[in-house]
Amino acid sequence: MKFPIHVVLENIRSAFNVGAFFRTADAAGVEKIWLSGITPYPPHNKIPKTALGATNTVDWQYEKEPIQAVQKLKRLGCEIIAVELTKQAEIYTKINYNKPCALIFGNEIGGVSKELLKLSDKQVKIPMYGQKESLNVEVSFAVVVYEIIRKWQLPHIKK
């Protein structure tokens, strides 16, 4: 089963994070991953360590310029959602997600670029209650993608 969810990775540095994105995308039934900028992409030798074969089961595309990937997704009718700690960001559990949608995740240090934040329709955040200001980028993906799927399935879940 595939859900109409795309994931844009903008300048992710770690090939291990990229592999983990693939593995979670497979588990969650994500339609496609868009790798962009400096983000490592298959057949990079470190991705398989955490992807565990998911590069063969998840559709993916490399786009050198992240903006071009997001513009293509907009033309496909995707709601563009940046996952980032910004003043405009709403808590990820408090909004509705349209189908299809695209989630943007930025560099582990700098986050989502200002250019992609401007192109986004929504910005969401995961609240932080501890001393650290963020989660690992792939962990953030897992949290948000499963919330989207949960919300989309609510009308179909029998009590």
Helix (H, G, I), strand (E, B) or coil at 105: strand
Over residues 145-155, mean pLDDT: 92
Q: What is the pLDDT of residue 134?
A: 87
Express each pLDDT in 26-42 by its tens digit. 999 999 999 999 999 99
> What is the extent of the structural domain holding 139?
3-153
Assess if residue 142 is contained within a domain.
yes
pLDDT score, position 87: 94
| Average pLDDT of the segment spanning 11-33 | 97
Contact (Cβ atoms closer than 8 angstroms) between residue 80 and residue 58: no
Contact 29, 124 (CB under 8 A): no
Report how many domains make up the chain.
1
Residue 81's nearest CA partner among 53, 126, 120, 52 is 120
Residue 56 falls inside a structural domain: yes
Q: Is residue 159 part of a domain?
A: no
Q: Which CATH number goes with the domain that contains 31? A: 3.40.1280.10
User: What DSSP character marks residue 107?
Assistant: B
Least-confidence region, from 79-83, 132-136, 153-157: 153-157
Inter-helix orientation angle 15-28/137-153, to 10°: 10
pLDDT confidence of residue 18: 97
Region 107-123: mean pLDDT is: 97
Does residue 50 lie within any of the structural domains?
yes
Does the pLDDT value for residue 159 go beyond 50?
Answer: no
What is the band of 155 on the pLDDT scale with cuts at 50, 70, 90? Answer: low
Task: Check if the beta carbon of residue 29 is closer than 8 Å to that of residue 3.
Answer: yes
Q: Is residue 158 part of a domain?
A: no
